[in-house]
Amino acid sequence: MVMGLSLVDSGRAGEPLEMVKSSVEKAMAVLKDPKLKSPDMKNERIERLKTAINPIFDYDEMARRSLGAHWRRRSPSEQEEFLKLFRAFIEKVYADKLDLYQGERIVVGRETTDGDYAEIEARMINAKGEESQVNFRLRRADGKWRVYDAVVENISIVQNYRSQFDRVISKSSYDELKKMLKEKAG
């Protein structure tokens, strides 16, 4: 995800790119705010980052895609419960990584759109100057562009979770997956 990165724009931006850029700039302002760097301000920092970042993510689409074929096998109430568990899980995973921020930045390349889908190519650059390829996948639903996946060094976050979730369900059960998500989100 883009949390904790600075952004350098290297071309003319379309609507999806502008949305991501704006959210990243807001997140950077939070991460760089000296008043929020102390450990006792971590919860405040997390809440402010959620305010900056959450509007650009389609957590429901991420959850559906991460559950894959198992999604259709769930009842509507199970689907609703999974959406909430998944979002809490994702927010916790990335909140726990906040302290790993070391001034990384992201250089945005080009944006490609195809109807209601877009992909933004970017490079993440760490303090040593090492680069990683990051592609943000977005879709437009209800007139809004939102990120539903990020591909880091050719590894899709959604596909990674789908593989993990499928293994848990196949080896154990859907209930075991829910239990795991609750524990990790707690």
Give the pLDDT score at 39.
86
Helix (H) or strand (E) holding 9: strand 6-9
pLDDT in tens, 44-56: 999 999 998 899 9
Give the tokens for residue 182: 């609750």
Residue 105 has what pLDDT? 79
Q: How high is the pLDDT of residue 13?
A: 52
pLDDT at 6: 39
How many other C-beta atoms are found inside a 10 Å radius of the C-beta of residue 172?
A: 12
* pLDDT digits 0-9 by tens, 56-79: 999 999 999 999 999 999 999 999
Give the angle subtended at the CA of 97 by the CAs of 82 and 43, to the nearest 5°. 80
Residue 30: what pLDDT? 86
Does residue 9 register a pLDDT over 50?
A: no
Q: What is the mean pLDDT of residues 125-130?
A: 88
Q: What is the pLDDT of residue 1?
A: 42
Is the predicted pLDDT of residue 22 greater than 90, yes or no?
no
Q: Tell the burial category of 175 from Cβ atoms under 10 Å away from its Cβ (0-12, 13-18, 19+).
A: exposed
Q: How confident is the model at residue 122 (pLDDT cuts 50, 70, 90)?
A: confident
- One-letter amino acid identity for 26? K
Strand locations in 83-184, DSSP E? 105-114, 117-125, 131-141, 144-152, 155-156
